[in-house]
Chains A and B, each alone.
Chain A
Amino acid sequence: MHTRLRARRVTVAAIATLALLPLAACGADDPEGSDGAGTSAGADLDGSITVLAAASLTGTFTELAEQFEAENDGVEIDLVFDSSGTLADNAAQGAPGDLLATADLGSMERSEPVQASDPEVFATNTLVLVTPAENPAGITTLADLDDDAVTYVVCVETAPCGTLAAEVLDDADIDNEPSSLERDVKATLARVVEDEADAGLVYRTDALAAADDVTLVELDDDVADDAVTEYPIVTLDQSENPDLAQAFLDYVLSSTGQDVLTTAGFGTP
């Protein structure tokens, strides 16, 4: 009897918790529902979209989404950041999302089955060399990496930044191997910021975002051409709000969007 009573109490608690879940969801939906009715500025935009974006877009897309939300009442932009390949594969497998922005064209191709339009290039990025702020190994050019005593890290070749890094290292005939292949550009940068590595190859935008934590070393002109990647963006078939998705895509390509991107260190396509 005693145990049965306790079991029932647990059941009641579980049901109460379950019952609260939809309420919580309602709470989150509510603002859009009520605001969206009257106040959307100009174009009839409301609701929310999810943007799947490459890790290197974390800073800029967060800023763009905030600006876009401020300009359009009742609109909500949710952002998911991960490595480009993972996002493209997830999208191709039907992961919820309205827009996909990757850090290279190769990853973008893998989302081909669910692309609702042709991908458009909205930015470019360049690989640069970074060292810890004090530059303990005294690195001034890419060639300085070719020394067994130098510990440096790059992205794994399955990530766009790793593909570029491999080409650049090959172009420059660097025989000293990297100490670690990091899963994405943020992880590579973190090694350098934490002073675990003497140098790392990351995007210019990440180097600029790290500001005083790292010292930026430009690549020589002869390898810099191979060190550029293009960022495409596309609307996805599974979008439940294609109008809003298209509006945000246009916003990224607009002069306002491009300003935000160039300020962060991206190049224009």
Chain B
Amino acid sequence: MTGRTTSTLGRPPAVLVVPAALASVFLVLPLVALVLATPWSTFLDNLTSPEVLDALRITALTSGLTVVTCLVLGTPLAWVLARVDFRGRGLLRALVTVPLVLPPVVAGVALVSALGRSGLVGEPLRDATGITLPFTMTAVVIAHTFVAMPFYVISVEGALRTAGEQYDEVASCLGATRWTTFRRVTLPLALPGVVAGSVLAWARSLGEFGATVTFAGNYPGATQTMPSRIYTVLVNDPEGARTLSMILLLSSVLVLAALRNRWLTTGASA
């Protein structure tokens, strides 16, 4: 395929190829260095230590729950933004995507202000039910969802817009209610975007650190995710931190590879 492109369009210009090669080296080199610097002799011992297993379990659980929350809440939001015409839609879209550009630590501070036990919503919640969110795994999922959902919503909204409204209209002409249309027509057409958005949200959740330690805290077995653990360990054990980074890198690559084989091969949007 590359051969045909070359013969009809001419050789790729060096002006593009050289920076492209530089960009590739720039992105790959640190990962290669990480692989080389990982103390492989102690890798297995590190991998099976109770703290690391705890952190892995919490990371897997919270990133999975984050994706589920995005699917349940983010999909309707993306649909509203793509399909319902209302005043302030542009403003709403801008507001819900703000977490994309917010430094995660600021996101954490904002979450404490809202849902902390003396927060805007947190205090009435505590007074009424006795429930406090910080320092719980729920808080980890909330922090992850806050930073990951915008990625998901943008991805799905894009897919909904690309799919267009004409099939919805046809379904409606044939007598389908709007809910049926959404379920049977709109959503299946936007599925590549839903999958891509889920992967983005999952990846964002996997690496999330700033908002998590700020809002949910950092305690092994309760709220300590892999990135929190890496940061904690890095302070006095860079070797251990490299091992942990390698574990996180390997597990995310494995999951992405598995997903790619299952779903992403046809979805160009990924």
Instruction: Report which A residues bind B (CB closer than 8 A).
Output: 83, 85-86, 89, 107, 110, 151, 153, 156, 158-159, 177-183, 191, 194-196
Contact = CB atoms under 8 A, between A and B. Distances in A.
Contacts of A159: 235
14 contacts: A151-B135, A153-B217, A156-B218, A158-B236, A179-B134, A179-B135, A180-B223, A181-B232, A182-B217, A183-B213, A183-B235, A194-B118, A196-B117, A196-B135
Contact of A194 (B116, B132, B224, B237): B116
A195 B117 contact: yes
B219 A179 contact: yes
Contacts of A85: 235-236
A183 B135 contact: no
A180 B112 contact: no
Given A179-B219, A183-B218, A194-B118, A151 B132 contact: yes
A158 B116 contact: no
B233 interface: yes
B140 to A, nearest CB: 11
B153 to A, nearest CB: 29
Given A158-B235, A183-B213, 10 more contacts: A83-B235, A158-B236, A180-B135, A181-B219, A181-B220, A182-B213, A183-B218, A183-B232, A195-B118, A196-B135
A83 B234 CA distance: 11
B218 A158 contact: no
Interface of B: 112, 116-118, 132, 134-135, 213, 217-220, 222-224, 231-233, 235-238
A49 B187 CA distance: 61
Contacts of B219: 177-181
B18 to A, nearest CB: 16
A85 B231 CA distance: 12
Contacts, number: 60
A156 B116 contact: no
A85 B237 CA distance: 10
Given A178-B219, A179-B219, A180-B218, A196 B235 contact: no
Nearest to B221: A177
Contacts of A182: 213, 217-218
A151 B217 CA distance: 12
Contacts of A181: 217-220, 224, 232
Nearest to B216: A180
A196 B122 CA distance: 10
Given A179-B217, A182-B217, A158 B118 contact: no
Contacts of A194: 112, 116, 118
A91 to B, nearest CB: 14
A192 B211 CA distance: 18
A183 B232 CA distance: 7
A86 B233 CA distance: 11
Given A194-B112, A196-B117, A183 B231 contact: yes
Contacts of A153: 217
Contacts of B135: 151, 179-180, 196
Listed residue (A83, A158, A159) with the most chain B CB atoms within 10 angstroms of its CB: A158
B235 A86 contact: yes
